[in-house]
Amino acid sequence: MKVAVVGGGIGGLTAALRLVEGGHEVHVLDAGARPGGVIGTSEVDGFRREHAANGFLTGAEDGAAALCAELGVGVVEAAPAAKTRWIYLRGRLHALPSGPGSFARTQLLSWRGKLRLLGEPLHRARDVASAGDESLWDFAVRRLGPEAAHALVAPMATGVFAADARELSLAAGFPKLAALDARGGLVRGMLAGMFGGGNRRARSRLATPAGGMIAMIDALAVRLGERVRRGVSVRHVVPEAGGVSIVGDDAARTRYDAAVLAVPGSAAARLLAGARPELARGVGDVYYAPVAIAFLGFRARDVSADLGGFGFLVAAGEAPRVLGCVFESTLWPERAPADHVLVRLIYGGARDPGAAALDDAALLAQAGADLAKVLGVRAAPVHASTVRWAHGIAQYPVGHAERVAGWEREAHAARLVLAGSAYHGVAVNDCIADARRVARQVAAWR
Ligand SMILES: Cc1cc2nc3c(=O)[nH]c(=O)nc-3n(C[C@H](O)[C@H](O)[C@H](O)COP(=O)(O)OP(=O)(O)OC[C@H]3O[C@@H](n4cnc5c(N)ncnc54)[C@H](O)[C@@H]3O)c2cc1C
């Protein structure tokens, strides 16, 4: 079959790879000057900046680690310090407990909160399949108690989705938690992950391609070769009997046997508005929380604070405006020149979209103030820069999975497949794994 893949982010490129493997003739049409979508890596003042995803967990089945191995891209594991994660709560940092001893000692939760969390097996299990979806927040309060919801679970929603846990779908955002919940083994499962139980070898590690995330994109582009067409902005997608016409910016129509729409929901809505207005309205409703990143680089000797760990997340309602901060050069020392450190502070998200709209000077001033408050860092940075995404990370509201299933039925009837981060997971691991579903769907039309 001749298949158009509209959108050359990680979702579109991996879908194209799987389609080529399936023997199809594939064109990837991407509006950007280079493929990769939001993923990008740049070197400024000797600091390596990741523009979106900065790494991935290696344990995911069919995820980025497997793709890198397949493409011959070397990966670098994060320093062991990555295991330590911090949460800013009640005006100070607390290490996320990593064992029974630190759980007993942590001040993230009161004794009452700890007992409530450990009493989880006594609380009602709930199966999304029969009882319907709920928010991550409602789920956490029901199973773990309000303290754990605020101190542990809501920051996780910020860390992964830059989301507000009260709005985020459990079923679509955290399907593994939903499955554990249905089986009633939530605390057992969480403790196994948190305290290092289970099969140690199978445990995930944080890693990134040597050369940065862009190395994985570049290798995909090389593998796909001339099938990837840059600077091609698709204007309309028009389903027709037994196929799909793609209309480009120059109004030229090209007929394909099927098309994969691997663009953000708002872009898919524009492509479909003429031919499939109802589907267009649906996918156009997927909200992307805006995100702004502030990168600050310092001389190591000017920073007396302990940057040991992955970084910190800030619980809702605390004074710092930053959602979270990643200690980039602790994880991967090559991200800063020798004797320097680099941190990446994330602003905006569904919790505080206004912060992503601050101008550069205001954002960098806020980043400096937040670092001073949380870590006591008051030195002048030797590097300060920003990367912004007005449409940053797709948000999955309660009921998302069900709505996606409806859109997919409508798309299927029009020989279209919806792909990318708007539907089945925002993490790069999810977008990569989802490419096999896309290829299966296309193969079904053969
Ligand atoms: C700040 C930030 C931090 C993140 N951190 C992490 C992380 O640490 N770990 C993790 O796993 N994930 C992270 N993510 C999420 C992850 O990077 C994204 O979800 C994923 O890369 C999105 O890929 P995609 O292919 O769905 O879409 P995109 O990357 O948005 O690609 C869509 C493509 O469609 C193209 N396009 C749009 N309209 C048209 C058109 N009309 N015609 C042709 N082409 C078009 C665009 O040019 C673009 O290339 C982060 C995201 C952000 C923004």
For ligand 1, atom 35, the nearest C-alpha belongs to 7
Cα–Cα distance between 257 and 409 in angstroms, integer?
Answer: 18
Backbone region of residue 202 per phi and psi (left: phi > 0; alpha: psi in -120 to 50; beta: other values): alpha
Q: Tokens representing 403? A: 């709505």
Q: Tokens representing 422? A: 């708007």
What residues flank ligand 1, with Cβ below 6 Å? 6-12, 29-32, 37-39, 52-56, 233-234, 262-264, 267, 291, 293, 389, 392-393, 420-421, 426-429, 431
Give span(s): CATH 1.10.3110.10, the chain. Answer: 111-194
Which numeric CATH code is attached to 2-37+213-286+397-443? 3.50.50.60
pTM for the model stands at 0.94
**37 CA from centroid of ligand 1 (Å):** 5
Q: What is the pLDDT along the chain (446 residues), one digit of tens a residue?
A: 999 999 999 999 999 999 999 999 999 999 999 999 999 999 999 999 999 999 999 999 899 999 999 999 999 999 999 999 999 999 999 999 988 899 999 999 999 999 998 887 777 778 888 889 999 999 999 989 999 999 999 998 898 899 999 999 999 999 988 888 887 667 666 655 555 444 444 568 999 999 999 999 999 999 999 999 999 999 999 999 999 999 998 889 999 999 999 999 999 999 999 999 999 999 999 999 999 999 999 999 999 888 999 999 999 999 999 999 999 999 999 999 999 999 999 999 999 999 999 999 999 999 999 999 999 999 999 999 999 999 999 999 999 999 999 999 999 999 999 999 999 999 999 999 999 999 999 999 87
414 alpha-carbon distance from chain centroid: 29
Number of Cβ within a 10 Å radius of residue 363: 23
Cα–Cα distance between 171 and 235 in angstroms, integer?
Answer: 33
Give span(s): CATH 3.90.660.20, the chain. Answer: 288-394
Number of Cβ within a 10 Å radius of residue 226: 6
Q: Tokens representing 377? A: 């860092």
Using the atom order of ligand 1, give the atom closest to the CA of residue 38: 29
Cα–Cα distance between 285 and 277 in angstroms, integer?
Answer: 12
3-class SS of residue 166:
coil
Using the atom order of ligand 1, give the atom closest to the CA of residue 427: 11
CATH topology of domain 111-194: protoporphyrinogen ix oxidase, domain 3 (1.10.3110)
Give span(s): CATH 3.50.50.60, the chain. Answer: 2-37+213-286+397-443
Which numeric CATH code is attached to 288-394? 3.90.660.20
Of 10, 14, 38, 206, best ligand 1 pocket probe by most atoms within 8 Å of the beta carbon: 38
**38 CA from centroid of ligand 1 (Å):** 4
**How distant, in Å, are the alpha carbons of 8, 24, 48, 185, 238 from that of 221?**
9, 17, 21, 42, 27
For ligand 1, atom 51, the nearest C-alpha belongs to 52
Contact (CB, 8 A) for 371 and 355: no
